[in-house]
C-alpha cells in the first residue's frame, strides 16, 4: 500500500492560505506553527483537531511549546478527524544555542506510533535530529518514517537537510523535515523553509524552496523492503543492538 503525505510549510500568514491545497492521507506540520510562546495543552490539542477536521485526514501537528502546571516542554501530537488527539513526541534535548535549555524541560523519548494502518511513524522534534541515537531508537522500534517538525533558520538549512538524508539512508526509512519560512527565530534570524522528504536510500524524494507551500509525496513501505534487501542496514542494526552495543561504554554502565 502507498500513502500520500503532505507537509505544510507556512510563512508569516500561517496555515490558513495553505490548507485548501492539501490532499493527502496524512498531513505534517512544523514546530511552533501555532505560537512561538507556550500554550496550554488544551489550546494546542484543540487547534490540531481543527486542522485535522479541515483537511479530513490525520495530522501530525508538528510540536509546540506547552505549559503544564508551570513546566514547559516541546510536545507533538497527532489529531484525527474523529476528534482524537494523542501526544506522540517530545523534544528530548532542547537547543542550547538558542537558549531553550533555560526555558524548556527535557522531554522523554516516545515510541513510534501507527499514523495509518500499516504505517509506523517516529516523531523527532527539531534539533533532536542532530542526535543519531534517537533515530536509531525509532528504527529499532519499527518506524517506516521519521518525521522532523522543525524551526530552522535559513543559514542552517543545508546542514539540516544533510542530516535528514543521512538519517534516511543509515536507517533505511523515509525522513521528512517540515520547516516554517520567513518567520522570526528566537535569536533574530528568520526560518528558511526547504521542507524536504528523503527516500530510504537517502536520495531526495521531494523538496520545497524558501516560499510557503505544500510538499506532497508518496511513502511506499515496499521501497523500504527493496533498499533493505540490497543494503541490509536495518538487520545489521538489529544485530548490533542484540550484541549489546547500545549498553556499552560509560553511559551504558559497561565501560
pLDDT tens digit sequence for 8-24 = 999 999 999 999 999 99
Q: State the DSSP code for 95.
A: -
d(CA 98, CA 160): 16
| Partners of 213 in the β-ladder | 9
d(CA 169, CA 167): 6
User: 3-220 has which fold?
Assistant: Nitrilase/N-carbamoyl-D-aminoacid amidohydrolase (3.60.110)
Is the confidence at residue 253, as pLDDT, over 70?
no
Q: State the DSSP code for 83.
A: S
d(CA 203, CA 199): 5
The distance between the two most distant Cα atoms of the chain, rounded to a whole number of Å, is 55
Boundaries of every domain in the chain = 3-220
- In b/e form, how buried is each residue of 189-202, taking b as 16+ CB within 10 angstroms? ebbbbbbbbbbbbb
Whether residue 88 contacts residue 112, with contact meaning beta carbons closer than 8 Å, is answered with no
pTM of the predicted model, to two decimals? 0.94
pLDDT tens digit sequence for 119-159 = 999 999 999 999 999 999 999 999 999 999 999 999 999 99
Structure-block grid coordinates of residue 251? 553511559
Amino acid at each position: 500500500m502507498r500513502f500520500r503525505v503532505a507537509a505544510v510549510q507556512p510563512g508569516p500568514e500561517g496555515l490558513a492560505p495553505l490548507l485548501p491545497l492539501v490532499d493527502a492521507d496524512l498531513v505534517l506540520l512544523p514546530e511552533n506553527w501555532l505560537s512561538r510562546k507556550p500554550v496550554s495543552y488544551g489550546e494546542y490539542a484543540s487547534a490540531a483537531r481543527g486542522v485535522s477536521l479541515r483537511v479530513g485526514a490525520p495530522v501530525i501537528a508538528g510540536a509546540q511549546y506547552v505549559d503544564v502546571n508551570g513546566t514547559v516542554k516541546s510536545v507533538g501530537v497527532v489529531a484525527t478527524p474523529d476528534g482524537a488527539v494523542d501526544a506522540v513526541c517530545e523534544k528530548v534535548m532542547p537547543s542550547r544555542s538558542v537558549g531553550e535549555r533555560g526555558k524548556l524541560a527535557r522531554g522523554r523519548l516516545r515510541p513510534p506510533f501507527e499514523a495509518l494502518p500499516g504505517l509506523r511513524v517516529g516523531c523527532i522534534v527539531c534539533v533532536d535530529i542532530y542526535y543519531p541515537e534517537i533515530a536509531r531508537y525509532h528504527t529499532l522500534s519499527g518506524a517506516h518514517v521519521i518525521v522532523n517538525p522543525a524551526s530552522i533558520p535559513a543559514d542552517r538549512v543545508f546542514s539540516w537537510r544533510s542530516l535528514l538524508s543521512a538519517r534516511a539512508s543509515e536507517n533505511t526509512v523515509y525522513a521528512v523535515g517540515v520547516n516554517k519560512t520567513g518567520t522570526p527565530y528566537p535569536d533574530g534570524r528568520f526560518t528558511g523553509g526547504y521542507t524536504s522528504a528523503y527516500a530510504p536510500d537517502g536520495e531526495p524524494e521531494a523538496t520545497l524552496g524558501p516560499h510557503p507551500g505544500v510538499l506532497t509525496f508518496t511513502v511506499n513501505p515496499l521501497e523500504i523492503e527493496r533498499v533493505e534487501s540490497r543494503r541490509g542496514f536495518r538487520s545489521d542494526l538489529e544485530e548490533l543492538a542484540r550484541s549489546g552495543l547500545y549498553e556499552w561504554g560509560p553511559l551504558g554502565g559497561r565501560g
